[in-house]
Structure 1
Amino acid sequence: MDLSDAYANAAHIPGAADFPPRWSAAAEAFRTELAEEGRFRSLAYGSGAREALDLFLPEGEATGLVVFVHGGYWLRFDRSVWSHFAAGALAAGWAVAMPSYDLCPDVRISEITRQVAAALCRAAAEIAGPIRLTGHSAGGHLVARMLAPGLLPEQVASRITGVVPISPLSDLRPLMQTEMNAGLKLDEAEALAESPIRQPAPRVPVTVWVGGDERPVFLDQARWLGEAWGCDVVIDAGLHHFDVIDGLAEAGSPLCKAVTGD
Structure 2
Amino acid sequence: MHPREEAMSRPKPEYVFLDYDQARLDLNYTQSAWAPNADAIIAWYRSASIAAHERLACRSFAYGETPLERIDLFSAGRPGAPLVVYVHGGAWRMLDRMDSAFAAEAFVAAGIDFAVLDFASIPDARLPDMVRQVQRGIGWLLRNSAELGFDSVRVVVVGHSSGAHLVAAALTADTPEHVIPGSVRAALCASGAYDLQGTMLSARGAYLQLSAAEIDAFSPIRHLSRLACPMVVAYGSAETDEYRRQATTFHAALRAAGKQSELVLAEGHNHFEISRTLGESGGLLFCIAMRALQH
Q: Across the two proteins, how many residue pairs are aligned to each other?
A: 256
After TM superposition, the structure 1 stretch with the greater mean CA deviation from structure 2, 122-131 or 91-100, is: 122-131
- Partner of 1:84 in structure 2? 102
- Partner of 1:174 in structure 2? 198
- Partner of 1:20 in structure 2? 42
Check whether the contact 1:45–1:51 (CA below 8 A) recurs between aligned residues.
yes
Per-residue CA deviations over 1:48-94 (Å, capped at 9, x if unaligned) read: 11111111111323422111100111111111102122233222222
Uncovered stretches (5+) of structure 2, i.e. residues with no partner: 1-15, 17-21, 256-260
- Partner of 1:213 in structure 2? 238
After TM superposition, the structure 1 stretch with the greater mean CA deviation from structure 2, 224-233 or 84-93, is: 84-93
Q: Is 1:123 equivalent to 2:141 in the alignment?
A: yes
Name the CA shift for 1:248/1:87 in 2 (closer, same or farther; >3 Å): farther
Post-superposition shift, 1:184? 0.9
TM-score by length of 1: 0.91
Q: Which runs of 4+ in 1 moved over 3 A?
A: 149-154
Give 3-state SS (helix, strand or coil) of 2:95's partner: coil
Structure-to-structure mapping, 1:30-45, within 5 angstroms: 30-34=52-56, 39-45=57-63
- Select which of 35, 41, 53 maps to 2:71: 53
Name the CA shift for 1:60/1:193 in 2 (closer, same or farther; >3 Å): same
Name the CA shift for 1:66/1:138 in 2 (closer, same or farther; >3 Å): same
Q: Determine the C-alpha separation between the residues in 1 that align with 2:37 and 2:281.
A: 26
Per-residue CA deviations over 1:173-208 (Å, capped at 9, x if unaligned) read: 101122222211122221111011011243411110
- Select which of 213, 219, 222 maps to 1:189: 213
Q: Which amino acid is 1:242 matched to? A: F
Per-residue CA deviations over 1:148-168 (Å, capped at 9, x if unaligned) read: 2765353xx433111110111
- Select which of 127, 134, 139 maps to 1:109: 127
Larger relative contact order (CA 8 Å, sep ≥ 6):
1
RMSD: 1.7
Q: Is 1:223 equivalent to 2:248 in the alignment?
A: yes
**Amino-acid identity (%):** 30
Structure-to-structure mapping, 1:55-74, within 5 angstroms: 55-74=73-92
- Partner of 1:240 in structure 2? 270
Q: Determine the C-alpha separation between the residues in 1 that align with 2:173 and 2:212.
A: 21
Check whether the contact 2:132–2:178 (CA below 8 A) recurs between aligned residues.
no
Structure possessing the higher radius of gyration over alpha carbons: 2
TM-score by length of 2: 0.81
- Partner of 2:5 in structure 1? none
Q: Determine the C-alpha separation between the residues in 2 that align with 1:146 and 1:153.
A: 7
Name the CA shift for 1:15/1:153 in 2 (closer, same or farther; >3 Å): closer
Give 3-state SS (helix, strand or coil) of 1:83's partner: coil
Q: Determine the C-alpha separation between the residues in 2 that align with 1:252 and 1:62.
A: 23
- Select which of 167, 184, 194 maps to 1:160: 184
Name the CA shift for 1:200/1:180 in 2 (closer, same or farther; >3 Å): closer
Check whether the contact 1:210–1:236 (CA below 8 A) recurs between aligned residues.
yes
Give 3-state SS (helix, strand or coil) of 1:75's partner: coil
Q: Which amino acid is 2:189 matched to? A: P
Check whether the contact 2:173–2:220 (CA below 8 A) recurs between aligned residues.
no
Post-superposition shift, 1:232? 1.7
Post-superposition shift, 1:253? 2.8
Check whether the contact 2:59–2:72 (CA below 8 A) recurs between aligned residues.
yes
Name the CA shift for 1:242/1:149 in 2 (closer, same or farther; >3 Å): closer
After TM superposition, the structure 1 stretch with the greater mean CA deviation from structure 2, 234-243 or 197-206, is: 197-206
Q: Determine the C-alpha separation between the residues in 2 that align with 1:11 and 1:246.
A: 18
